[in-house]
């Protein structure tokens, strides 16, 4: 059964300025023993993005992550997607993850639409027959027709989004990680995109959604995680959490 388990997870993000990026400076700092180091010239600043987060998400979880900007929502999604290794604590994720955080990932502007579908397919680890099914599915859904034979740098933004969305949502994952619900293109297409996304979400075992949109939360989610300054403030039913969040978004 798919599950996401985070035990006492901390993530410290180092932020480097140009001298923190330099091997020369690092070696010089070693040579002088750091005694002349000036606190005002800190070349590395560490931000604590997640602070002792413990979570257990099981099959059937529909979870919203809420919190103000910089509360750690995206960082938490990236930890779940195994992109950020935690600095402390343990992460155990079972199940095939699809992280719909950037639809354009791995696309090449010089390559044609078809080539991009194939490349994304290989990136997802699909076999040749699976890729040809992906190709049919994307062709039908995007309705791009002969445009798929052209390099995607010639595409309009709407066409680009259709293709990226079509590919990203063609494979059914067990765990879906979403950073804001994606709106796609013109009205008629947006409706079909919504429908396709909802089919994907319904069939998934676990959904984690970071968003500010209360309508979507009440519509899709059965519980909410409230983050503030990288800490979990509370977990509970969305209506209750949202009400308290509205009163004081950044406690502590």
Partner 1 sequence: MLEASWRGLADVLAGLSSWRTWKMLAWNDVRRRYRRSGLGQFWLTLSMAATIGGLGLVYSRLFGVNVSTYLPYIAVTFVIWGVISTVVIDSCNALIENEQLLRHVSLPRSLFIYRVIARNLIIAAHNVLIIPIVFVWFGVGVNVNILWIVVGLILLAANAFWIGYFLSIMCARFRDVPQIVTSVMQVVFFITPVMYLPDQLARRGFAVIKWNPFANLLEVVRDPLLGSAPSAWALGSCAVMAVVGLAVVMPFAGRYAPRVVYWL
* Cβ pair 233, 68 in contact under 8 A: no
* Cβ pair 232, 177 in contact under 8 A: no
183 Cβ contact list (under 8 Å, min separation 6): 190, 193
- Among 6, 61, 72, 101, the residue binding partner 1 under the rule CB under 8 A is 101
CB atoms within 10 A of CB 119: 16
The whole-angstrom distance between residue 231's C-alpha and the CA centroid of its chain comes to 19
Beta strands in the chain (DSSP E): 3-16, 44-57, 62-66, 88-94, 97-100, 175-179, 206-210, 223-228, 231-236
Query: Shortest approach of partner 1 to residue 108 CB, angstroms?
Result: 6
- Among 10, 29, 111, 150, the residue binding partner 1 under the rule CB under 8 A is 111
Determine if 32 is a binding residue for partner 1 (CB under 8 A): no
Identify which of 125, 199, 185 has the alpha carbon closest to the alpha carbon of residue 155: 185
> What mask of x and - would describe binding to partner 1 in positions 43 to 82, judged by CB under 8 A?
-----------------------------------x--xx
Q: Which of residues 116-145 bind partner 1 (CB under 8 A)?
A: 118-119, 122-123, 125
Which range touches partner 1 (CB under 8 A), out of 64-72, 83-91, 157-165, 180-188? 83-91
Write out the two tokens for 233: 């403030």
Identify which of 80, 61, 67, 49 has the alpha carbon closest to the alpha carbon of residue 212: 67
Q: Which of residues 167-196 bind partner 1 (CB under 8 A)?
A: none
Determine if 21 is a binding residue for partner 1 (CB under 8 A): yes
- Among 58, 108, 136, 143, the residue binding partner 1 under the rule CB under 8 A is 108
Determine if 22 is a binding residue for partner 1 (CB under 8 A): yes
Please report, as ranges, the residues that interact with partner 1 according to CB under 8 A. 13-14, 16, 18, 21-24, 26, 78, 81-85, 99, 101-102, 104-106, 108, 110-111, 115, 118-119, 122-123, 125, 151
């Amino acid at each position: 059964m798919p599950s996401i388990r985070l035990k006492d997870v901390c993530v410290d993000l180092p932020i480097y300025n140009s001298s923190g990026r330099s091997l020369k400076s690092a070696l010089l700092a070693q040579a002088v023993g750091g005694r002349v180091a000036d606190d005002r010239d800190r070349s590395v600043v560490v931000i604590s993005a997640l602070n002792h987060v413990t979570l257990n998400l099981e099959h059937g979880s529909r979870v919203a992550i809420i919190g103000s900007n910089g509360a750690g929502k995206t960082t938490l999604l990236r930890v779940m997607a195994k992109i950020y290794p935690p600095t402390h604590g343990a992460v155990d994720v079972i199940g095939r993850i699809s992280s719909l955080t950037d639809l354009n990932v791995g696309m090449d502007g010089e390559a044609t639409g078809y080539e991009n579908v194939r490349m994304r397919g290989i990136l997802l680890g699909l076999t040749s027959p699976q890729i040809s099914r992906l190709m049919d599915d994307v062709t039908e859904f995007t309705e791009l027709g002969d445009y798929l034979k052209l390099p995607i740098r010639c595409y309009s933004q709407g066409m680009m989004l259709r293709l990226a969305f079509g590919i990203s949502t063609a494979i059914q994952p067990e765990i879906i990680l979403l950073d804001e619900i994606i709106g796609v293109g013109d009205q008629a297409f947006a409706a079909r995109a919504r429908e396709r996304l909802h089919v994907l979400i319904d069939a998934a075992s676990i959904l984690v959604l970071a968003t500010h949109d209360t309508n979507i939360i009440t519509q899709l989610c059965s519980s909410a995680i409230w983050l503030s300054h990288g800490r979990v403030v509370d977990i509970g039913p969305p209506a209750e959490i949202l009400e308290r969040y509205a009163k004081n978004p950044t406690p502590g």
